[in-house]
Amino acid sequence: MTTDAGLPSVRESLQLALLTEGEGSPLVDELAEAAADHYHLNYSRHPVPLLFREVRAARTLLAGVLPAGTDGTELHRQLGRLSGLLGNLAFHLDDSAGARTHLGTAISYANRCGDTALAAWAYGAQSMVARHNGNPTAAYTYAERGAAAAPAGLVRAQLHAWALLPTLAQQGRDREATAALDVALIELEADPAGQAPGRFGFDEPELALHQAEAHLTLGRTEQARARAEASAAACTPGTPGWAAATLVLAQAEAADQPSDAAQRALDILDRVPPSRLRATARTRLQRLEGLLAARPAEYVADLRERLRTLPPSVDASGAASA
């Protein structure tokens, strides 16, 4: 782990190595992998705009030493991973078009190298973006491609829980959504490790989050509440995963416990600075505000005012929130 101030040092060390190593050097491949590992393992520890800037700079450096006209190499694979991270970061900055571009590049490089796990993940991310954009047909197509490409075990569990389950739930396909969840549970249980860290990783708290959102979409409020509580309890308070699960829990509580729901959202705004509040969290906050609009309970007016004055993640001039 490194601090925000220390994050640029990874890119600087990579730049120094490229000054002395020739094209095709094994050390370049090794350092490219180390940099991509660092960014994906520490994804949730840094403000999204800062991490986007550093990942982009590292990818630019490595693209400059990519041998022309070669088949898929290790360097191609790492460029694909960095492109995938840029796609996810763009999505968390509410830049869906940019996300689609970066994720498409990740898929291209993953397919060129035969990295089925990366290709599956990138298809899953494309499904997430399409779902956010209100394009269920594309979301389902990408989710199916990702699930088909995914190796058995953790990656297949991830694609069924993260891509297929929410897409099917959004379309009201209850039976198929349940089947996708069953596959995710079976694959997760069968995986020897049972979890993997980082942006490309997957674990039980994330599975519980996707379960909760699917239950909420399908109108199963009590099940949504139980799974969201389990997910939030397994996360460190203040982290993006905790914020996501807590907001899903608040949405599930909005009808019957509006004061509790509003208070949960206020707690998130107290703990998470605007610069670290992802676009996905902002969307969930807006959805919660809509659910609470007709419920004049304690804390609801306070939440409405906090959201009214919340700085945007990126302002009209393109500057990120401080």
Instruction: For 114-152, write each residue's pLDDT tens digit.
Output: 999 999 999 999 999 999 999 999 999 999 999 999 999
Does residue 265 contact residue 305 with C-beta atoms inside 8 Å? no
Identify the segments of the chain with pLDDT beneath 50.
none
* Residue 1: per-residue pLDDT: 54
In a domain, 76, yes or no: yes
Distance, in Å, from the CA atom of 220 to the CA atom of 226, rounded to the nearest integer, reads 10
Nearest to 232 by CA among 300, 291, 284: 284
Token duo for residue 88 = 């996810």
Q: For residue 69, how many other CB atoms are within 10 A of its CB?
A: 4
Does residue 116 contact residue 106 with C-beta atoms inside 8 Å? no
* Residue 2: per-residue pLDDT: 65
Helix (H, G, I), strand (E, B) or coil at 314: strand
Count: domains in the chain: 1
Mutual angle of helices 258-271 and 279-292, in 10-degree steps? 150
In a domain, 52, yes or no: yes
* Residue 24: per-residue pLDDT: 75
Nearest to 163 by CA among 192, 188, 136, 196: 136
The CATH number for 18's domain is 1.25.40
* Residue 6: per-residue pLDDT: 81
In a domain, 40, yes or no: yes
In a domain, 55, yes or no: yes
Torsion sign across C-alpha atoms 241, 242, 245, 246 = negative
Instruction: List residues bridging with 196 in a β-sheet.
Output: 202
Distance, in Å, from the CA atom of 134 to the CA atom of 254, rounded to the nearest integer, reads 24
Nearest to 288 by CA among 246, 241, 237: 246
In a domain, 103, yes or no: yes
In a domain, 279, yes or no: no
In a domain, 251, yes or no: no
Q: Which helix (H) or strand (E) holds 144?
A: helix 136-149
One-letter amino acid for residue 30 of the chain = E
* Residue 69: per-residue pLDDT: 75
Distance, in Å, from the CA atom of 130 to the CA atom of 166, rounded to the nearest integer, reads 12
Range of the domain at 21: 9-114
Distance, in Å, from the CA atom of 84 to the CA atom of 123, rounded to the nearest integer, reads 10
* Residue 322: per-residue pLDDT: 59
Instruction: List residues bridging with 314 in a β-sheet.
Output: 320
- Mean pLDDT (the chain) is 95
